[in-house]
Each structure stands twice: as C-alpha cells, then as structure tokens.
Structure 1
Amino acid sequence: MGSLLDYFINSSAITIFVLLVLSLYFIATFWIFLDRYYIISARINSEARSLKSLYTGQSKSVADNSLIFTYLSRVNKPNKAILNAAASDAIRVSTKGLTWLSIIASTSPFIGLFGTVIGILETFSKLGAESSASLTVVAPAISEALIATAAGIAVAIFAYSFHLILKRKAYELSSLLASQSEVILSQTTEE
C-alpha cells in the first residue's frame, strides 16, 4: 500500500488524471456489461419460452411478455413489416451501451499510452537535472511510467471481451425474434 501511495505522490497531475479516466472507464465497462447482460439474458429466456410454446402448438401467438406482443396487439393481422419493426426495436433497446464498450475498448490503450509517454518525459526531465543517470535510476522510473499503459490495456481487454459477449447475446435474441416472426407469419398464411 505504501508503494502505491508513493507512486501517486511522485506522479504528475496528468498521470493521475489518466489513471482516473481509466478507472472510470473500468467502472463503466462493468456497469454496462452487467446491466445489458442481465437484461438481454432475461429477454432471451422469455423469447425462448414464447417460441417453444409456438413450436409445440400450445399457443397461436407470442406470449404476453414477448417483445413482439405489444406490436402484434395493435394490428388486426400480423404482417412482415410490423414483425420486423418489433424485432428491430427490441434489438435496438437491448443493445444500448455496446457503442460505449467499443469506444472504451478502442481508446483506453491510447489513453494509457499517453500516460506512459508523459511519465517517461517527466523521468527524462528529472534525469537531466541529476549528475548521474544509471540504469538503477532509470529502470524504476520507466517501469512506473508503464503502469498507465498496462492499465489501458487491461481496461481494453475487458471492454472488448464484454462487447463481443453482448453482441453474441443480441444475435441470439435477434434469432429468437426472427423465428417467432416466421412462425406467426406461417400461421397467418395458412388461414
């Protein structure tokens, strides 16, 4: 704990700001992931149950808790346009935040690198003021500067991984909605 405190005391305002931004990115990454993951998972479960009841003939329409139900309840006869609108709207609402994960994944390594460059510049300016510059003096200072790059890469790894997980979940939801739409449309053409 003491060395962490020493690191912050010896760091510049820019390095601390970079680490603060990366910390906020890290918190936002987990917040977005957990929020969207649970929402999309719940929707996938309800749509899977609705599709199962359609497939097995237990129901002629989607379940009341289906994302498509609201749209179907407003029309006399289901059509492809209304079902596509329902699916598009459901996916759009479910995938809010994925853009932020993408932005965080792509910018956090650069923010970390910026912090490292500033740290190295400060190290060299301090070394220029000293009479001796040996490896024992330079190496610890450079390794401390690299902490910002490591933090940026760590944030990017989580953000990118979570983005891909949520993207796959959104695809599953989209597939379930499309399957329900096809079953409903096939039932209306048979009548």
Structure 2
Amino acid sequence: MITTLLNYLANSSAITYIVLALLSTYLIITFWIFFYRNAALTKLISNEKKALESLTSREARFSPLSALNKCSNNSNSKELLYACEINLIKDASQGISWLAIISSTSPFIGLFGTVVGILESFAKFASQSKVAFSVIAPAISEALVATAAGILVAIFAYTFHQIISRKIYELNIYLKAESQILIAKG
C-alpha cells in the first residue's frame, strides 16, 4: 500500500501535488472546525438545557450558566431576549459555512486533478503508435485518485455540516423556549 502510494506520488505532476495539497488542507480545516464547534456547541447546549430545566422546575429561576441570561442581563424584555437569541445563534454558527463550501467544492477540485491527470496520460501516449489497454488503465486509475480524495473530503465536510447544523437547531430551540418562558413570566 505504501509502495503504491509512493509510486503514485513519484509519477505525479505538479497539478496533482497542488490538488492533493489543497484537499489535505480542506480535510484538516474540516476536522478542526468540527471538533472546535462541536465541543463549544455541546457545552452551550448543556448549559441552556440546564437553564431551561431550572426555569420549568419549582425553583423557576434563571441559571447563571445560561448564555441567554448573560446576554440579557436578567432582563425579560422581548426585544432584548430576541436580539440575544440571534446573537447567540450567529456566534454558534460561526465556521459552518466553511463546511458547506468545502463539501461542495472538494469533489470539483478532485475532478480537476483527475481531468488533468488523464490529459497528461493521453499526452504521453500520443508519441506511441500502439497503446494497449494494459498501459492506459493504470494511468487512468492513478488519475482517479484525485477524484476519490475530493469525494472523501466532501463526505466528511457534509456529514460534519449536518451534525453541527442539528446542534445549532437544538440550541435555537432551547433559547426560544427560555425566552418564551421569561416573557410569559414578565
């Protein structure tokens, strides 16, 4: 496996190196955004869930850990609570657009690398009078590695985008429920 990979890299062109480097960077960014945002959202959701539970319990007090409480400064103003909700959701969704961009562009970057690899293979074959399938097939399969890499990156980016989007939705539900309770209590 390693020998095959080293042979592939040894026979690759500059475009292939650029495509694979860009896709590697995309993959690193994807994982970094996911782990960072997932950890932050998990903590935020946990705090808001506890805050909602304390508001709906017999205590009926607002948790000091709640980001909505910190933002609104214990105010029950509908406008201020709404503005705080929007601000918290905006902060929670920071970086998620990059996951969408990466998931939609990485297959095209991989496809570009494949097309260039196939064109280079055909250019090498142009000088030969007869080329057998046994010569063409390995060259095309090597070119397809870039598409596979692009699809792999897209799978992770899209999956992480969906997970983070769901967590943001869950956070939004908790924030809206807390706001409605606070507004109702006046």
Compute the TM-score of the two structures, normalised by the length of structure 2.
Answer: 0.96
Aligned partner letter, 2:19: V
**Counterparts of 2:168 and 2:66, CA distance in 1:** 15
1:130 CA displacement: 2.3
1:99 equivalent to 2:102? Answer no
Match of 1:2 in 2: 3
Paired residue for 2:148?
150
The answer for unaligned runs of 5 or more in structure 2 is: none
After superposition, where does 1:38-187 map in structure 2 within 5 Å? Answer: 38-60=39-61, 62-73=62-73, 75=75, 78-187=76-185
Structure 1 unmatched runs, 5+: none
Q: After TM superposition, what 4+ stretches of structure 1 lie above 4 angstroms from structure 2?
A: none
Q: Give the counterpart letter for 2:48 in structure 1.
A: E
After superposition, give the CA deviation of every residue in 1:39-90 in whole Å (9 maximum; x if it has no partner).
1011101100010000013133x21111111233274xx1111001111111
Aligned length in residues? 185
CA distance in structure 2 between the aligned counterparts of 1:2 and 1:129, rounded to whole angstroms: 28
Percent identical residues = 46
Aligned to 2:33: 32
Superposed CA offset, 1:19-47 (max 9, x none):
11001101111110111011101110110
TM-score w.r.t. length of structure 1: 0.94
